[in-house]
């Protein structure tokens, strides 16, 4: 259960969502994720919906081997993150950087798209709490 909760927490951080926001998105009580964190799963269907909106795979079955990584897509996710970090000056801890790359990889965004850039900036702002390096101000 701890692994499931850790994945949900990572996905929430990557999207900049609160537990209550995500709980409401699936049509559940605002306490759905809070209860999940306490070890209570009141609805498998709602948990499946939560996985879907967070971009997580809902799977029960024999352990599977990890799929091959698309190297080009991974490189694009890293380059997109690095470009937006440079543009915005946001400061990201190494473990959060790995989570951000994983989220971008899952989203498979076109790094040149203005909409994709705006989405990445929003996520980074939430992940960093707006923390920026020296000399970077809001709107830079």
Q: What is the residue extent of each domain of the chain?
A: 2-54, 71-128
User: Do 97 and 73 touch, CB atoms closer than 8 A?
Assistant: no
Locate tokens 């009141």: which residue?
Answer: 42
CB burial of 25-51 (b: ≥16 within 10 Å; e: otherwise) equals ebebeeebbeebbeeeeeeeebbebbb
Residues of the chain scoring pLDDT < 50: 140
Q: Is the pTM for the entire model greater than 0.75?
A: no
Which residues touch 121 (CB under 8 Å, ≥6 apart)? 84, 87, 88
Q: What is the pLDDT of residues 113-137, one digit of tens each?
A: 777 777 778 777 777 777 787 765 5
pLDDT at 124: 77
Residue 27 has a pLDDT of: 85
């Amino acid at each position: 259960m701890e692994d499931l909760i850790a994945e949900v927490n990572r996905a929430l951080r990557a999207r900049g969502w609160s537990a209550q926001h995500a709980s409401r998105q699936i049509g559940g009580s605002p306490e759905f994720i809070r209860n999940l964190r306490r070890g209570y799963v009141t609805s498998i269907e709602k948990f499946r919906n939560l996985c879907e909106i967070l971009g997580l795979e809902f799977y029960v079955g024999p352990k599977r081997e990890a799929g091959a990584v698309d190297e080009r897509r991974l490189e694009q996710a890293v380059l997109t993150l690095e470009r937006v970090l440079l543009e915005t000056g946001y400061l990201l801890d190494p473990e959060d950087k790995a989570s951000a790359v994983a989220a971008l990889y899952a989203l498979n965004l076109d790094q040149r798209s203005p909409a994709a850039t705006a989405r990445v900036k929003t996520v980074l702002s939430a992940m960093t709490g707006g923390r920026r390096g020296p000399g970077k101000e809001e709107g830079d």
